[in-house]
Amino acid sequence: MAIVETVLVGHVSGFCLLLAWAIRRGDAADLIAGYDGDLPPEREAELARDAARVLVVAAAATGLLVVDAWTGAIPRPGALVAVAVGAAVAWFLYTWNVREPAGD
């Protein structure tokens, strides 16, 4: 069963990393859901960087599921993944919706 889980989680992690790369490579912030293009270029680059960070955290966190599938050493891996991804998303939402931008 560990091989099946590795393949499934590997696809999800790979997709997250591919999307993070696509967003960061060309500062393609329009790949971010809900973004309507109303930011200046430097803020748009910040948005792309932060969205890519969240996707990388999600890919790394899902890697815990693979480690647990092979070793069984991680207690409650699903909860750890949910907390890690939830914390990254909460940080992103707070940064872009609540906190005032730096320099204003």
Give residue-wise pLDDT tens across range 37-56. 788 888 888 888 999 999 99
Q: Which two tokens stand for residue 12?
A: 């999800």
The torsion angles phi and psi of 36, rounded to 5 degrees, stand at: -110, 10
- Tell whether the model's pLDDT for residue 15 goes beyond 80: yes
Per-residue pLDDT, 53? 94
**This model's pTM is above 0.75:** yes
Write a three-state SS string for the chain. CHHHHHHHHHHHHHHHHHHHHHHHHCCCHHHCCCCCCCCCHHHHHHHHHHHHHHHHHHHHHHHHHHHHHHHCCCCCHHHHHHHHHHHHHHHHHHHHHCCCCCCC
